[in-house]
Chains A and B, each alone.
Chain A
Amino acid sequence: MLFIILSGFFVACMLLPAGKYIKERLSYLLSLLPLSLFIYFASYIPQIMNGNVLLESTEWIPSLGVNASFRLDGLSLLFCLLITGIGFLVFLYSASYLKGHKYLDRFYAYLCLFMAAMLGMVLSDNILLLFVFWELTSITSFFLIGFNNDSKESRKSALTALSITGLGGFFLMAGLIIISHITGTYSVQELLGSHEIKNNALYPLVLIFIFIGAFTKSAQFPFHFWLPGAMKAPTPVSAYLHSATMVKAGIFLLARFSPILGGTTEWSYSLMGIGAFTMLYAAVHSLFRTDLKAMLAYSTISALGVMVFLIGIGTEVAFIALATFVVVHALYKAALFLITGIIDHETGTRDITKLAGLKKVLLPVYIAGVLAALSSAGLPFTFGFIGKDLIYEATLNTASSIAIYLTILAVATNLCLVAAGFMAGIKPFTGRLPEEFSSIRLPHIAIWLPPLFLGLSGFVLGCFPAVIGDALISPVVNSIAGSSVQFHLKIWHGFNTVLILSMATLALGSIVYYVNKPSAGKLSFITNYQNVSPQYFYTWLAKKFYNLSEWYTSIMHNGFLRSYILKIVVFAQLLFIYELVRGGPIYLDYSKLSPISVYEGATVLFLIAGLFITLTTSSRLTAVIGTSVTGYAICLLFLYFSAPDLAITQFTIDTLTVVLFVLVLFNLPPFIKFPGVNKPIIIRDIAVSLSFGLIMAVVAIKVLQVPTSIESSNFYGTYAYTLAKGKNVVNVILVDFRGLDTMFEIVVLAIAAIGVYSLLKLRLKSSEKE
């Protein structure tokens, strides 16, 4: 199973070198990957139907308890099939939709990565692994949303989506870590059997963190606004990520954790509250939009709200409704998005007020649109009908005190969704065809077959619901409810309250569709309320944060080397002073010091003279020579204290430094007084450097006072020859004992050289152009 999940990553890596061959005709071939994955997962249906759960584990980081363990149960199987099945259609569709695009190979690489990340997420049995894949979906979706990277809007919405989902990911990680802290395990399998969390004092905190994770990903209020923004992505991406798969990751997470964390009042009421608010809020909003994709985005948010709401209800019938609605929604919403893509592709607009009469030119697309819209509306004999019935059944079967309110909320939401579905799937095709669109021809079959197929499958499943009900829905419910549930999906439930509600929704929704005509005026009416929306608040917060970091950067990273050195030195001084004060009294034992020889004294005088020249001269060259005198004096001191290796290195390095300086000097401004340097600054610098020198001297004295440990020098002295066959301990340490460090050091050197080389070469090239 590990290989299956990683196959998407392999293909994405392969696209890197092989991309240019794909761009031509071979792009259709890539859809074989999701297709074969779909067949692979479909072959597990019989096993999962019998109530088996497949577990597979490969050791990854056993010391941290992070293993690549995967779990295929009803819930993950359903999502796998959705991801790969809709993935296949989207892959096929994109090949025509983006035909000839400059970065088609890149697009497919992102899609493959995304699909693999999604599969990994739904299959993970280890919650940390789940988190890793969760973040991967955020990152890959960032690239997909920002795919049109030359548009500023598109980059901006990609960033918004990434920061919101990234923020959620951060909370999710905190929640998962607390869970494993309480239970001592990262494994979902073990968590399912443990009931410690619900009684723990940290339980509310865990809930909040997990909820923020799920709500950001699944676009629940108040984090919903990134989803309409993400509609800047190419339409296949919107169809794949923002209807069928990624936004359902949060739903998946809640469903996965439902048996572990759910069942409490906190869980149910917060999910019902947020879900209900989101579904109604977004459903009403969707009626005001004129952009087809924006309308679909809001109706998606609303549908996600319905799913959260159903998880909150948490009864068996609610889970059945949830599983069914996930499939229903994936089928009709992906179809509607793909249809919108075709309309946009052919007419160049997505404005609902301009589109009409496309039935004449795009007949198969019209059929697909009608099928999808009817399934979304829940007409009998469509799969949507069954989904809608189950939702009403779930709300009616709750505690009698709230059942009536929940049902009203669900009906209100659904009638808006009916209208929105009709507007997206039927409205652009009816009416009189405008003159400008009359020249449109039906595009390639690969582009209109996927939505038609999705529309038809919604219809077929609606006629034979028992097939999918037994094969997919009931294993899902079993894995969410944690117990075996027996039920069969039926087309006909008889004349009862549910049917009346369903018909009423359909009728009212159709009336809303006929009465409500979206227009630019209505759009501006609703955008007037931007100032009180959460999006406004987040933008404000982001702006403040940006200002803060700008302020910090201008203070701490102003680009002046002298300012960096000043800060580093002052900070180091404070650390040293703290340690020295903590370390107790300092004394100097004169009797233990060796006498100062004439050579040493003379060398130190040279050193001071060199420093003095450097500090007082007005010529850069003289200053360089002054520092090199200091360097050579230090090199002599090394020699006196029997460190010949250090001395040679210091000597050669100093020589080369002078050469480097001389080479660079030509390009430096003359050595004049810096502007703005006045007396107080000079005094400050002198004070800092004097105190630093003083502190270093005190540290040196302190070091003498502390008995040195000779353990390590003894170790190297003993083993340098016996083990490493060398007599020069310094060199043996460099090439043998700490050889890995040396390896990294030469790599760093190489990087530095390549950096200098490319910097100068690149700069020259760009100046040559001018």
Chain B
Amino acid sequence: MRSILLQAASRYLLPILLIFSIFLLLRGHYYPGGGFVGGLVAAIAFVLHSFAFGTTATMQILKYKPLSLIPIGLGIAALSMFVPLLFGLPVMTGLWYEESIPVIGMVGTALFFDIGVYLVVVGVVLTILFTISLNTH
């Protein structure tokens, strides 16, 4: 009993919500948003898709297990913590690129840290939800 309406809507909502989640991620440093919320929104986008097409279909779109996003995210966040060491600065010092890049804005270690958070959140939420939904029905 798949709803056609939901299927049609989520086909368009998936990219839109994903773009919105990246938007939330990037603006986080200046306006409401950030990696955590961005990750949650991205996860909701996939969850919505899975409601419309089934979890297996969503897993196919993702290609990789959501579980694999967790180490990648943790790795990026951890790297961004230790990059300042290369410049002889203490761990977690904020480093920023001088020029602002169009669309993205200021680029710095904090942004990469936020990207790490984003990926971990997506990975965690999808892993929990998809594992439950695939294994219990």
Contacts and interface: CB of A to CB of B under 8 A. Distances in A.
Nearest to A720: B29
Nearest to A724: B94
B18 interface: no
B59 interface: no
Contacts of B106: 725
B7 to A, nearest CB: 17
Contact of B132 (A660, A747, A749): A660
Interface string B29-41: 1111111110011
A653 B131 contact: no
A739 interface: yes
Contact of B67 (A725, A728, A752, A754): A754
A645 B29 contact: no
Interface in A732-757: 732, 734-736, 739-740, 742-743, 746-747, 749-750, 752-754, 756-757
Interface residues of B, number: 48
B77 interface: yes
Contact of B120 (A644, A727, A750): A750
Contacts of B43: 656
Contact of A645 (B37, B110, B114, B131): B37
A739 B114 CA distance: 10
A750 B72 CA distance: 11
A659 B92 contact: no
Given A754-B70, A761-B135, A743 B77 contact: yes
Interface in A652-671: 652-653, 655-656, 659-660, 663-664, 666-667
B78 interface: yes
Contacts of B34: 645, 728, 730-731, 734-735
Interface string A483-499: 00000000000000000
A697 B135 CA distance: 43
B35 A752 contact: no
Contact of B129 (A648, A660, A726, A746): A660
B123 A753 contact: yes
B8 to A, nearest CB: 20
B124 interface: yes
Interface in A444-465: none
B127 A753 contact: yes
A750 B70 contact: yes
A727 B67 CA distance: 33
Contacts, number: 137
B135 A760 contact: yes
A583 to B, nearest CB: 35
B128 A752 contact: yes
Contacts of A648: 24, 32-33, 37
Contact of B47 (A659, A736, A757): A659
Contacts of B78: 743
A39 interface: no
A732 B106 CA distance: 13
B116 to A, nearest CB: 7
A649 interface: yes
Contacts of B3: none
A764 B136 CA distance: 9
A739 B95 CA distance: 14
A667 to B, nearest CB: 5
Contacts of A644: 32
Contact of B44 (A652, A730, A734, A753): A652
Interface string B13-38: 00000000000100011111111110
Interface size class, chain A: 35 or more
A117 to B, nearest CB: 33
A753 B70 contact: yes
A728 B94 contact: no
Contact of A653 (B31, B40, B114): B40
Contacts of A652: 37, 40-41, 44
Contact of A659 (B41, B129, B136): B129
B29 A749 contact: no
A723 interface: yes
B32 A756 contact: no
A588 B24 CA distance: 40
A736 B116 contact: no
B83 interface: no
A582 B21 CA distance: 48
Given A663-B133, A734-B34, A735-B114, A757 B29 contact: no
Contacts of B131: 756-757, 760-761
A725 B94 contact: yes
Contacts of A656: 40, 43-44, 47, 125, 129
B74 A728 contact: no
B52 interface: no
Interface in B39-81: 40-41, 43-44, 47, 67, 70-71, 73-74, 77-78, 81
Contacts of B47: 656, 659
A728 B74 CA distance: 23
Nearest to A655: B44
Q: Which of A644, A724, A746 has the most CB of B within 10 A?
A: A746
Nearest to B91: A740
Nearest to A739: B92
Contacts of A655: 44
Nearest to B117: A746
11 contacts: A648-B32, A652-B44, A656-B129, A659-B129, A740-B92, A742-B113, A749-B124, A750-B74, A757-B127, A760-B136, A764-B135
Interface of B: 24, 28-37, 40-41, 43-44, 47, 67, 70-71, 73-74, 77-78, 81, 92, 94, 96, 106, 108, 110, 113-114, 116-117, 120-121, 123-125, 127-129, 131-133, 135-137
4 closest Cβ pairs, A-B complex: A652-B40, A644-B32, A726-B29, A753-B124
Given A731-B28, A739-B92, A750-B123, 16 more contacts: A653-B40, A660-B132, A666-B136, A725-B29, A725-B110, A726-B110, A728-B34, A731-B34, A734-B34, A734-B36, A735-B117, A739-B81, A740-B81, A742-B117, A746-B121, A750-B120
Interface of A: 644-645, 648-649, 652-653, 655-656, 659-660, 663-664, 666-667, 723-728, 730-732, 734-736, 739-740, 742-743, 746-747, 749-750, 752-754, 756-757, 760-761, 764
